Structure 1
């Protein structure tokens, strides 16, 4: 899929050399602002893989009812099962 051309206008002006000179790395942003720019997903270096799996509806409901982190709890249950 081809990239869309960038359109520069009053609300999205092209950066000048001065703009680049004033720019600061994201690591200097306050933590509450930096959090909004983090990529979702696994942290760098994670050894986990995304997979598609079919589970019985009742099993899935029980894990999801335990709140955030339910996928990790399924992973732990599978490890304990030693399959």
Structure 2
């Protein structure tokens, strides 16, 4: 009963000295895919007081920057979706003509 377990404790790749020297840390989501979490950059942005208060109120004071980021991402995806829908409609109209 003194047999040692061979189960791996962590599924992340070991950290090397090169990783430490470069100053970059890549975190992975837990799960089978091991997808890399998207990188974020720190920026300075000027917003209207009303805009800032809206997001702070909606987020409850904490996490308002994440909410702003999600809103911007949704706007980008909606723009891409709109372009795809327009292209599809044009193609279908050409086929029907």
TM-score range, shorter chain: 0.3 to 0.5
Which structure carries more helix by proportion? 2
- Give the structure with higher Rg (CA): 2
TM-score, with normalisation over the residues of structure 2? 0.37
